[in-house]
């Protein structure tokens, strides 16, 4: 596989923000497959927003085009890969292993250009890409 820069893979660092918002939601106990207008209630609930950031210090995770599918198909028909970072105080769990445990990677550097993630990256779902970002012989800020 060719080593590519995170910029080429359209990578973005993001931070998760929970915002309390009023909205119409199915009431507790309503059948989600058989409901009517009376089953909705107006409630305040937290809504999750992912905001781009240039600072690794502020980031909760990385989003990039899958390096394996990018190599196979270019930018068309390529799915995104999300890589949650450990020890960042993210207000939600972004990824879980099949056993239900949260999945995280250790991130170091200052931003996309020198990002290093450990251990190797293997998304929980998606395709069969199992690679490295800035480690395992791959330059910081690059993936393979
Ligand atoms: Zn893929």
Residue 14 confidence (pLDDT): 98
Predicted TM-score (pTM) of the model is 0.84
Q: How far is the CA of 40 from the centre of ligand 1 (A)?
A: 38
**Cα 109 to the chain's mean position, in Å?**
18
Residue 126 confidence (pLDDT): 73
pLDDT beyond 90 at 123: no
Q: How far is the CA of 26 from the centre of ligand 1 (A)?
A: 35
pLDDT in tens, 54-97: 999 999 999 999 999 999 987 788 999 999 999 889 999 999 98
DSSP state of 113: G
Domain range list for the chain? 4-15+61-143
Residue 59 confidence (pLDDT): 97
Q: How far is the CA of 119 from the centre of ligand 1 (A)?
A: 18
Q: How far is the CA of 110 from the centre of ligand 1 (A)?
A: 26
Q: How far is the CA of 143 from the centre of ligand 1 (A)?
A: 13
pLDDT beyond 90 at 124: no
Distance, CA of 124 to CA of 119 (rounded, Å)? 14
Distances in Å between the alpha carbon of 76 and those of 63, 65, 73, 79, 81? 17, 10, 6, 9, 15
Q: Provide CB contacts within 8 A for 37, sequence distance 6+.
A: none
């Amino acid at each position: 596989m060719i080593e590519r820069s995170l910029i080429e893979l359209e990578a973005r660092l993001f931070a998760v923000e929970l915002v309390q918002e009023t909205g119409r939601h199915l009431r507790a106990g309503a059948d989600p497959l058989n409901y009517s207008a009376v089953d909705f209630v107006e409630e305040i609930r937290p809504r999750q927003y992912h905001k781009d950031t240039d600072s690794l210090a502020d980031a909760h995770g990385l989003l990039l085009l899958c390096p394996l599918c990018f190599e196979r198909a270019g930018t068309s028909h390529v799915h995104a890969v999300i890589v949650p970072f450990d020890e960042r105080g993210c207000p939600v769990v972004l990824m879980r292993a099949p056993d239900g445990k949260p999945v995280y990677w250790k991130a170091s550097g200052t931003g996309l250009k020198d990002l290093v993630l450990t251990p190797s990256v293997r998304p929980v779902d998606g395709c069969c890409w199992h690679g490295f970002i800035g480690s395992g012989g791959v330059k910081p800020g690059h993936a393979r």
